[in-house]
């Protein structure tokens, strides 16, 4: 039987996990401040020539956006399912611990995927989508050109992030 202290610990840790998953999966645009001084500064920059003809505006590919949305929906369904199991009173403590570890694993994988996408953006200046499934890493690059040496360099760069051997595949989509 679970005592009060154990119940509070389980409740608070599950709450912390849910909030961390929420903040990890939240789009970065929501974290930006939208106060009036920021908006007015932005307006003055664009009217005073903040954008020059040489500036390039990069937008994310529709394919990558749809893949992200699909993965996020899958993960949210899985998280909801695991949270329901976590609150089920018929499960034993060991079963709840397994569910909790699954929740932590999903959170860890999500943050690692985001880190790898940022690394590709920083090193190669390319928009990408990364999906990790056990020891398989699928990378989709938003580019019209299919460069084999670029794909090999991306694979080598991403392999540095892992302690064990991972199977990394890189594909290019427009």
Distances 128 to 28, 60, 61, 105, 133 between C-alpha atoms, Å: 16, 9, 9, 22, 16
State the pairing for strand pair 136-142/128-133.
antiparallel
Which of 64 and 37 is assigned the larger pLDDT? 64
Is the predicted pLDDT of residue 53 greater than 80, yes or no? Answer: no
Strand partners, 36: none
Q: Are 128 and 140 in contact (CB under 8 A)?
A: yes
Domain 4-22+61-173: which CATH class?
A: mainly alpha
CA end-to-end distance (rounded Å), the chain:
56
User: Which of 58-62, 85-89, 117-121, 170-174 is the least confident region?
Assistant: 58-62
Is residue 13 very low, low, confident or very high in pLDDT (cuts 50, 70, 90)? confident
- Report the pLDDT averaged over residues 30-44: 48
CA atoms of 114 and 124, how far apart (whole Å): 15
Which of 108 and 42 is assigned the larger pLDDT? 108
The structure tokens 């959170």 sit at: 107
Which of 158 and 145 is assigned the larger pLDDT? 158
- As a whole number, the mean pLDDT across the chain is 81
Is the predicted pLDDT of residue 41 greater than 50, yes or no? Answer: no
User: Taking Cα atoms as reference points, which of 124, 168, 172, 116 lies closest to residue 148?
Assistant: 172
Q: What is the pLDDT of residue 170?
A: 93
Is the predicted pLDDT of residue 102 greater than 50, yes or no? Answer: yes
CA atoms of 104 and 14, how far apart (whole Å): 10
Is the predicted pLDDT of residue 88 greater than 90, yes or no? Answer: no
The full set of domain ranges for the chain reads: 4-22+61-173
């Amino acid at each position: 039987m679970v005592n009060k202290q154990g119940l509070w610990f389980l409740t608070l840790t599950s709450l912390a996990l849910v909030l961390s998953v929420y903040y990890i999966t939240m789009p970065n645009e929501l974290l930006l401040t939208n106060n009036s001084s920021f908006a007015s500064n932005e307006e003055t920059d664009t009217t005073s020539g903040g954008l020059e003809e040489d500036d390039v505006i990069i937008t994310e590919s529709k394919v990558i956006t749809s893949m992200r949305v699909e993965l996020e929906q899958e993960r949210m369904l899985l998280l909801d399912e695991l949270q329901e199991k976590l609150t089920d009173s018929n499960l034993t403590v060991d079963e709840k611990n397994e569910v909790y570890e699954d929740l932590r694993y999903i959170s860890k994988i999500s943050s690692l995927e985001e880190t790898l996408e940022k690394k590709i953006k920083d090193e190669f200046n390319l928009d990408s989508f990364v999906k990790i499934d056990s020891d398989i890493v699928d990378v989709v690059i938003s580019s019209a050109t299919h460069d084999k040496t670029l794909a090999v360099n991306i694979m080598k760069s991403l392999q540095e992030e892992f302690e064990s051997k991972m199977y990394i595949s890189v594909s290019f989509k427009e």
